[in-house]
């Protein structure tokens, strides 16, 4: 009885580890979201990395006369964070400005989203 229970537990744990390892592969990487809020907690902008196609979208969520700038940065051991590409969105209508950039696997990237009033926010990710 105990032997059968131990075997079932071992099989269940092995199956769980297999599922966990198979879902963390780069093929199952997800989208990355970065929110930027002002001092009162109102969301003024957000940025999204859409993994399928490596599209970066910058949204201006407030019609306040200031537009956010969204950037993609890569980490290099010799120079720290280096900016690869930036786009500005001053529409204030909730529609995105986007750009494509082919991000590589196992490289440290981060999104930087800055706004004149709310400052900057960062979100790191890897493929």
Q: What is the pLDDT of residues 14-40, one digit of tens each?
A: 433 333 333 333 444 589 999 999 999
pTM of the full structure: 0.75
Q: 31-125 has which fold? A: Immunoglobulin-like (2.60.40)
Q: Are 70 and 58 in contact (CB under 8 A)?
A: yes
CA nearest 107: which of 124, 123, 126, 122?
A: 126
For tokens 């902008």, name the residue.
45
Run of H or E residues at 12: helix 2-23
Residue ranges of E strands in the chain:
32-37, 43-50, 55-60, 69-76, 80-88, 96-100, 109-115, 119-125
Task: Give residue-wise pLDDT tens across range 35-53.
Answer: 999 999 999 999 999 999 9
Mean pLDDT of the 86-100 span: 90
């Amino acid at each position: 009885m105990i032997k059968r229970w131990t075997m079932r537990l071992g099989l269940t744990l092995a199956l769980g580890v297999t599922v966990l390892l198979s879902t963390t592969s780069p093929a199952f990487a997800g989208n990355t979201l970065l929110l930027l809020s002002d001092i009162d907690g109102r969301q003024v902008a957000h940025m999204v990395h859409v993994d399928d196609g490596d599209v970066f979208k910058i949204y201006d969520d407030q019609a306040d006369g200031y537009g956010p700038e969204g950037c993609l940065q890569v980490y290099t051991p010799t120079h720290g964070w280096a900016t690869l590409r930036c786009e500005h969105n001053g529409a204030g209508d909730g529609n995105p400005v986007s750009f494509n950039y082919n991000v590589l696997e196992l490289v440290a990237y981060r999104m930087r989203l800055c706004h004149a009033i709310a400052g900057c926010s960062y979100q790191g990710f890897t493929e």
